[in-house]
Amino acid sequence: MADSHLQAVKGAKVLMVGAGGIGCELLKTLALSGFEDIHVIDMDTIEVSNLNRQFLFRQSHVGQSKAKVARDAVLKFKPHINIKPYHANVKSPEFNVEFFKQFSVVLNGLDNLDARRHVNRLCLAAQVPLVESGTTGYLGQVTVHVKGKTECYECQPKPTPKSYPVCTITSTPSKFVHCVVWAKDLLFAKLFGDKSQDNDLNIRPSDDGNTSKNPEDVFERSSDENAEKYGRRIHDHVFGYNIELALANDETWKNRKKPRPIYIKDVLPDKSLQRNGHLENCTSEDMPISTMPTLGLKNPQDIWSLVENAEVFLESLRLFIEKRDKDIGNLIFDKDDQLAVEFVTAAANIRASSFGIPLHSLFEAKGIAGNIVHAVATTNAIIAGLIVIEAIKILQCDFHNCRMSYCLEHPSRKMLLMPVEPFEANKSCYVCSEQILLLEINTWTTKLRDFVEKIVRNKLGMNLPIVMHGANLIYEDGDDIEEDIATNYTRNLDKVLAELPSQVTNGTVLTVEDLQQELTCNINIKHREEFDEEKHPDGMVLSGWSGHLNDNKVASNRENDISSAPSAAADAENPDGPDVVPKNLILGAREKYQRWKNLPTPQKIRPRNRTRRIRKILIKLMTATAATTMTMT
Amino acid sequence: MDGEELTAQQTALYDRQIRVWGVDAQKRLSKANVLVSGLNGTVAEFCKNIVLAGVGSLTLMDDRLVTENATHANFLITAEESKLSGRSLAEVYCNSLREFNPMVHVSVEKGDLHYFDGNFFDKFDIVIISGYSLKVKKLINSKCRERQKRIAFYTVECRGSCGEIFVDLQSYTYAQKKSDGTIECHMEYPSLEDAISIPWRDLPKKTTKTYFAMRVLEYFESWQYGKLCQTSDSDIPHVLESRKVLCDEQGLSESHLPDALLNRLVAAGAGEYPPVCAILGGFLGQEVIKAISGKGDPIKNFFYFDAADGKGIIEDISPPSK
């Protein structure tokens, strides 16, 4: 190693965000490469399913802080360096712009879009270079973001998690994933989650109002009702009664196959469930509470019969009530919660059966419900190596040699690792340029709450937002707001835009700001009456920063010789999970590729048309990778 | 593959990777036996990957004693172990790797691999060597090829910022994934000896310069040291001389092999660059998993990574098929 190289590395203070799949590999490679001052932030604790690739962790560490255990493990082979762990969320206010300013470079090994965008903004505000990364299966990528020299992480719009129209989930599922979303986000949430949350589980009986019983009461267990009886009643309500109710609406089924109501007495005629009687063995300390051993179900790859699904449904419900009573009321679905996965698998399968949709195994249902990313150690190791190589170039101020790198499953032009020159900043990026956004919205029906949640938080990725209309504050989030003002904001949240104290109507310009991220956006409001529910389930359309994907164009220009690359992503379906995900794999098909400004011309590594071709491969590849995540809006 | 199911423990541990390569591949992995000889930072990366993946057994060979020097680029050697004298690299690697995955059988074999007879090789499905001279590489490669069962053979070398992997899967059939299902593919691999004896004039113009540079160093070292990776700056004139000899003999213009690249490789000497170790160890791990599972396009038959340009390139250097 050259001396200048060594000096740059030794003198550097680096921040790693994420100590998971990429993070473990990265911390190891940084330490071996001579880095001596490394700070690590990770809010997660260690899970069993991490151990196949997060090699700094052992079985005995399950439940402990990733950042702390990773530090201790690395100090065993590199004892004299400084590693500072933070068991915390990178979005918490302590990690402000001042905090970020102390670092020479920030290295991301994150698993979600939200945190990635947040870190991007802090790096821009603190003027610290960022190396961003992601992997899924054999695919991975590393990108470099330096303010004033390259695009920022958000210069290209990112695919937001796929959402399904509510009616598809509640009434007309056609794919297994619809049934999983129903089981997880509606039924599971209704039975075990926060009761105060809105929930579309019950089909509102048509407005004839002859319901003798408030539908909400159906899910309450009466004091004289045992768990089994309760389970049978819930089963019949959601898989029987609700389906009958839906069938009553002829319009819905004109062009669709009708579902079949399923009643528990037809599936499991016996009054009580047959159990093997090994229950005591299965609830010991080290085994998670599960229905599978008692029901004699061994292989999570097997597809259960309808009878087995009904048994798992009743049994898991019973175990929740009898063994995990104190969890009920505040459970959130967790893919590492065995009993929750069993319940959701069974419920999704019974619903799928009702709608004539093929059933799936617990393994598959778990992958869909948990948005599990396919992850292997090798890709993470490769990507971590590339991150360190780029970080060292940045530390040596060797910016013109920085590259974005893509790790492919199938070679393209003989390459499995493909370097590409970084793109220059998108002038219409609302994050790193001052671009005014346009929001089409129905100002007479949309509440401020929807605007804040769906646009300001979800789409714009703000953490502690302030919403202003001219000099008037409409809404603000934070801990230090006085009580009467907070009440006022809460009142505003429930008003539609056009009825706010300072009316928001067609032509209004709203300013939204996040002081932590030091980001301000102006949004032009355009009133619009109608939205297509399939295309815009939120009932809002935000636009204004360019660089949209043009699928037709990509497809029609596809090169024969690169056709193998896109299939690389064929089995990567669920890109938002425990590991790092290439959300930023989407690159815009920008018409003009310009060289970086303010820099000496980089060494020409390929003719321009080749760059364009490579970009097309990437777009195609990445569109496939960033397929779907299952969140309902 | 039918037969035994994975245990609940295996299913929980390997959940994320089973989603990448499937249950059958996982079962095959758990029955495969891997031998590595010649331990260094790159091989450490490979061993970590294959042990995490859940291979059946890993056998380590390297009798060299651990010195404090060895810890420079190695996460398998803890600070305390490097101070203890009298333990071999293989023993120390073995202790660390066992902890990574209790389900994998990790063990040590003493001795020099090239003195072992063919029967010894029959215990393994995969043989990987690093840091050997060209002569020994060829010898071990041919021992693997002489056996009745197919033994996949790999070499891996990291010279500073550059790395090379060589793959010999002999006669290999695997499942290739297509958009509409899988098709069976067949590949014939040449031995190392046959591959590198192809005259340079017959290779495509676009063949990566690193391929030629690695052969020049190999040639230089085989008459200078009889070992790999021992070069220093003072060797540069002799290495340039080797370049001339080989280029003349093989019919390639010397200008095709720039001084800068050779200087870089010579200066690296035996030094490994940790990010490159991670990248090579990652790709080698993937290749071995592919070869065991019979799934996915394998590298044929050389792979190069150079941190200077960031490219990871596959080169197929095979005699024309007859």
- pLDDT tens, residue by residue, B247-283: 999 999 999 899 999 999 998 877 889 999 999 999 9
Examine the domain organization and report whether A95 and A185 are in the same domain: no
Nearest residue on chain A to B288, alpha-carbon basis: A378
Q: Produce one character per residue of A364-378: b if its CB has 16 or more CB atoms within 10 Å, e if not.
A: bbbbbbbbbbbbbbb
Q: Residue A79: which CATH number? A: 3.40.50.720
Q: Residue A537: which CATH number? A: 3.10.290.20
CB contact under 8 A, A410 and B99: no
CB contact under 8 A, A417 and B279: yes
Which runs of consecutive H residues, i.e. helices, occur in A97-200?
97-101, 113-126, 166-170, 176-181, 189-192
pLDDT tens digits, A343-381 = 999 999 999 999 999 999 999 999 999 888 778 889 999
The tally of domains found in chain A comes to 3
Interatomic CA distance for residues A375 and A387, integer angstroms: 18
Percent of chain A with pLDDT over 70: 79
Tell me the CA end-to-end span of chain B in Å, nearest whole number.
34
CA-based nearest residue to A155, from A519, A545, A622, A575: A545
Examine the domain organization and report whether A386 and A504 are in the same domain: no
Task: Indicate the pLDDT class of residue A204, thresholds 50, 70 and 90.
Answer: low
Averaged pLDDT, A499-527: 88
The answer to whether position A584 is within a domain reads no
Peptide bond into A488 cis (omega under 30): no
Examine the domain organization and report whether A318 and A382 are in the same domain: no
A196-A197-A203-A204 Cα dihedral, nearest 10 degrees: 60
Cβ(B156)–Cβ(B43) under 8 Å?
A: yes
The answer to whether position A366 is within a domain reads no
- A2 Cβ contact list (under 8 Å, min separation 6): none
Interatomic CA distance for residues B110 and B102, integer angstroms: 22
The residue type at A574: N
Does A594 have pLDDT greater than 70?
no
Cβ(A37)–Cβ(A74) under 8 Å?
A: no
pLDDT tens digits, A111-157 = 888 899 999 999 999 999 999 999 988 899 999 999 988 999 988 87
Q: Which residue in the set B12, B179, B274 is minimally distant from A48, CB to CB?
A: B12
Examine the domain organization and report whether A50 and A79 are in the same domain: yes
Tokens 């598959």, located at residue: A364
Contacts of A79 in chain B (CB under 8 A): 79
The answer to whether position A631 is within a domain reads no
Examine the domain organization and report whether A188 and A321 are in the same domain: yes
CA-based nearest residue to B165, from B281, B44, B311: B281
Of A506-515, A577-586, A602-611, minimum mean pLDDT range? A577-586
Interatomic CA distance for residues B260 and B237, integer angstroms: 13
pLDDT tens digits, A148-185 = 889 999 888 776 666 788 888 888 899 999 999 999 99
Examine the domain organization and report whether A79 and A106 are in the same domain: yes
Interatomic CA distance for residues A524 and A507, integer angstroms: 6
Does A562 have pLDDT greater than 60?
no
The answer to whether position A563 is within a domain reads no
The answer to whether position A426 is within a domain reads no
Cβ(A376)–Cβ(A138) under 8 Å?
A: yes
Distance from CA of A256 to the nearest CA of B (A): 28
pLDDT tens digits, B161-219 = 999 999 999 999 998 877 778 889 999 999 999 999 999 999 998 899 999 999 999 88
Mode of pairing for the β-strands spanning A105-108 and B311-315: unpaired
The token pair at A91 is 């979005």
Q: Tally Cβ neighbours within 10 Å of residue A360.
A: 21
Nearest residue on chain B to A47, alpha-carbon basis: B13
Examine the domain organization and report whether A246 and A275 are in the same domain: yes
Examine the domain organization and report whether A311 and A207 are in the same domain: yes
* DSSP code string of B130-159: -S--HHHHHHHHHHHHHSSS--EEEEEEEE
Cβ(A336)–Cβ(A47) under 8 Å?
A: yes
Examine the domain organization and report whether A264 and A331 are in the same domain: yes
Q: Produce one character per residue of B60-69: b if its CB has 16 or more CB atoms within 10 Å, e if not.
A: bbbeeebeee
Cβ(B161)–Cβ(B307) under 8 Å?
A: yes
The answer to whether position A361 is within a domain reads no
Interface probe, candidates B1, B2, B16, B304, chain A, greatest A C-beta count within 10 A: B16
The answer to whether position A7 is within a domain reads yes
Task: Indicate the pLDDT class of residue A220, thresholds 50, 70 and 90.
Answer: confident
Q: Residue A345: which CATH number? A: 1.10.10.520
Domain ranges of chain B: 8-193+272-314, 198-268
The answer to whether position A463 is within a domain reads yes
What pLDDT score was predicted for residue A507? 84
Between A411 and A417, the more confident residue is: A417
Task: Kindly report the CATH class assigned to B8-193+272-314.
Answer: alpha beta
Instruction: Report the run of H or E that residue A536 belongs to, with start and end.
Output: none
The residue type at B22: G
3-state secondary structure of A142: strand
Cβ(A92)–Cβ(A463) under 8 Å?
A: no
The residue type at A419: P
Examine the domain organization and report whether A195 and A271 are in the same domain: yes
Examine the domain organization and report whether A129 and A190 are in the same domain: no
CB contact under 8 A, A419 and B315: no
Examine the domain organization and report whether A461 and A378 are in the same domain: no
Nearest residue on chain A to B275, alpha-carbon basis: A385
CA-based nearest residue to B310, from A25, A389, A392: A389
CB contact under 8 A, B177 and A570: yes
Contacts of A414 in chain B (CB under 8 A): 313-315
Cβ(B103)–Cβ(B54) under 8 Å?
A: yes
The residue type at B219: Y
> How many Cα neighbours within 13 Å face the side chain of A138?
27
Task: Indicate the pLDDT class of residue A296, thresholds 50, 70 and 90.
Answer: confident
Q: Write out the residue range of the structural domain in which residue A527 sits.
A: 436-543
